[in-house]
Amino acid sequence: GIPERINTRLDTFKKFFHDFPVSTELEKFEDGEDVVVHGFIGKRKDLSSKLSFCDLNPKDFKFPRPFQIVSSWKKENSTQHLAHQCLKDIPAYSPVVVLGRLHPSPRDSNSPQLENSSKPPSWDLRLQSITCLNPFPKDIIVSKDAVWPPKSRHLQLRFDPLLQQRLYFRSFLQMTLMTLLQEANFTAIETPILFKSTPEGAREFLVPTRRPGYAYALTQSPQQYKQILMAGGIYKYFQLAKCFRDEDHRADRQPEFTQLDMEMAFATGADMINAIGCLVYSLNSKIRQNFLLKDVNGMRCPLNNIHNRHKRTGTKGLKPNTISEEAKSTEEAKPTEEAPEEASSQFVFPCIEKMTYDAAMSLFGTDKPDLRIQLPYVSRIHRMRKSSLTTSFVQMITSLKDPIVNSCSFRLGVPPKDAGKFIRQFMAALPNTTIKLSPESTPAVFVYDSGQPLNGLSALGHASAQKLEEAHKPMWGKYEDGDVIIMQARKNEPFYGGSTDMGRLRTAIHEAAVKEGLIPKDPTFRFLFVHSFPLFTPNGEDPGQGGAAGFSSTHHPFTAPKTPADFDLLKTDPLKAKADHYDLVLNGVEVGGGSRRIHVAEVQEYIMRDILKMTDEGVAEFAHLIEALRAGCPPHAGFAFGFDRLVSVLLDVPSVKDVIAFPKSNKGEDLMVGSPSKVTPAQQKTYHIFAAEDS
């Protein structure tokens, strides 16, 4: 039978399933009108036994601010009296349907913190009736700015308005980018997620089938399918694509993530870079028309611009599709019309800059330079001439023979004593951070101090100290007291990989100085294309293509060489060959990347078989792609935004988890639903999956 505890309450529950009136259309919101509003109520304030106030959060774009329910009564058993009693029975945070009479409200002192200074209208709702649709339980304690455990993601979504705003912004960004691509005649085409395992580069998840020993692999990206689309005569393709990689979840990565993926036929890398430039430019103007950036509790919050633009003019005539209507208008948002402090927080993207991989690595020590780390606070990395340094100094900082010695300077604007304290603390804490330096070289740290011998550079020796000052002058001007100079040696060899010791130090020192308030935080958005990566990279930890060459494709084995000269290098010195590959970097974070592809079957086979020295079996895994290229495939180039990453950098949040509705933990677990979960014996049998005895 049905347990008594439920049975006796079924009639109570049943009433929550009744029909309830639909909410009143926005057009009818006028002073004195009776309207129906759906929403969640806030905490009730009882001013007397006959007068209460209560916020009603309508949870709809149309109403940027909560309503205030005003409940008062004079006559016993009047409608107002009954409604008042009803209100008093409903727990805070419950979903309700309210019938009330509208009046404009003057209560601006209660305005919630998310609001702009120039406020949209808010309404009082004189209560006539209220229905609770599902009472909020007493045992869930809601406090302001609470951070809920991952298991309670539903409560974080519900009670963190910043998280909700970020999800709305993400939705806007997705739809805007897709619409811009559609307008540029890109075709949205879905490609399979159940693919097969190929040695493309990353570790794939497998999906076993009921046929023993056979499995699908989840696509690590739509790469191969989109290239086949190009061979199939599709001119321009795009897709908001789910990608899957079974990586160790370091570096804020998710096992499943989203790419906005594109490919163009009859295009070179340069064509694709231009196309992305246009897209980012258009995107910026759409964002600026629709969003303001505000700092709320130190977090960057994308505030919907309609809050600001429809001030005291009332909501009348403000159609539900306000956002896209505005996006369609040619009128540009004019940041100069705002108060200066608001203008500074606008979304403004300057032109995208371009830089080769080699330049990025030598000047910034990273293939993802953050262009906000710049003069007058931080110099670029300088390569010291060999002749300008004494052997004894070089031997002091490194065990390397014939090293390259780099220098980099920081202007913290404080006296030498304070600068010295800052940098010594930083260096002392370094071993406990994630920044790992090579054991072959120790950074040398100097604080420029005209009160000290050789201005504090005496460890360099007289001649070297002078050379350092001279060398830095063209970009940096004269050193000032309190400037911090870091010098470090590295192996004299071509660049591979993502960063150098000096690059990681430079970024970390800047970050620490910003944290300490020594360097101001730069709120701008600096896009940069890094291009001409090495086509191949000596084997490291990643699986690569499993070839016998000792190196793997830096990105994937389909990347085209950059120039005819790089083509020739394949035969003689493949590790020197550059790729027609480009990464889009925003504020030091890779938010996208792409390349021209190899579109000639023989060249693709040549790279796999003769350069990477993959096995026949390995090459055969790509037979579908090679066969498609063979059928007169046009040249093509592509790009993909790491969409989660793009959103998180635009919103300046520390993790992609902050812009994903249901993120997975660093161990790849969804702690709310409890995935992954134990495989049942029946499932083990159906899909031939082992279970460990001890699990």
Question: Within positions 184 to 223, which residues make up the interface with a second copy, using CB under 8 A?
Answer: 184-185, 187-197, 205-218
CB neighbours of 309 closer than 8 A, spacing ≥ 6? none
Calculate the CA dihedral of residues 55, 298, 169, 649 and round it to 10 degrees. -170
Q: What is the DSSP string of 256-295?
A: EEEEEEEEEET--HHHHHHHHHHHHHHHHHHHHHHEEEEE
The CA distance from 231 to 140, in Å, is 57
Q: Taking contact as CB under 8 A, which single stretch among the options 298-306, 336-344, 403-411, 656-664 is the one that binds a second copy?
A: 656-664
Question: Least separation, in Å, of the C-beta of 489 and a second copy?
Answer: 38
| 229 contributes a contact to a second copy by CB under 8 A | yes
CA dist list (Å): 508 to 381, 407, 415, 597: 14, 15, 21, 35
Nearer to a second copy, 281 or 567 (CB): 567
Sign of the C-alpha dihedral, residues 574, 579, 584, 585?
positive
Q: Judged by CB under 8 A, which of 630, 652, 653, 657 binds a second copy? A: 630
| 265 contributes a contact to a second copy by CB under 8 A | yes
Question: Least separation, in Å, of the C-beta of 17 and a second copy?
Answer: 6
Residue 672: count of CB within 10 angstroms of its CB: 16
Nearer to a second copy, 396 or 673 (CB): 673
| 599 contributes a contact to a second copy by CB under 8 A | yes
Nearer to a second copy, 430 or 600 (CB): 600
Q: Which of residues 358-397 bind a second copy (CB under 8 A)?
A: none
The CA distance from 94 to 127, in Å, is 16
Question: Least separation, in Å, of the C-beta of 9 and a second copy?
Answer: 7
The CA distance from 198 to 637, in Å, is 21
Question: Least separation, in Å, of the C-beta of 160 and a second copy?
Answer: 9
| 225 contributes a contact to a second copy by CB under 8 A | yes
CB neighbours of 417 closer than 8 A, spacing ≥ 6? none
x/- mask, a second copy, residues 98-117, rule CB under 8 A, reads --------------------
| 258 contributes a contact to a second copy by CB under 8 A | yes
Sign of the C-alpha dihedral, residues 188, 189, 192, 197?
negative
First to last CA, the chain: 36
Question: Least separation, in Å, of the C-beta of 90 and a second copy?
Answer: 10
| 305 contributes a contact to a second copy by CB under 8 A | no
- Bridge partners for 372 per DSSP: none
| 150 contributes a contact to a second copy by CB under 8 A | no
Question: Least separation, in Å, of the C-beta of 642 and a second copy?
Answer: 14
| 674 contributes a contact to a second copy by CB under 8 A | yes
Question: Least separation, in Å, of the C-beta of 59 and a second copy?
Answer: 5
Nearer to a second copy, 150 or 498 (CB): 150
| 668 contributes a contact to a second copy by CB under 8 A | yes
Q: Which of residues 130-149 bind a second copy (CB under 8 A)?
A: 133-137, 140
Residue the block writes with tokens 């086949």: 228
x/- mask, a second copy, residues 448-487, rule CB under 8 A, reads ----------------------------------------
The CA distance from 166 to 285, in Å, is 19
| 168 contributes a contact to a second copy by CB under 8 A | yes
The CA distance from 165 to 61, in Å, is 10
| 619 contributes a contact to a second copy by CB under 8 A | no
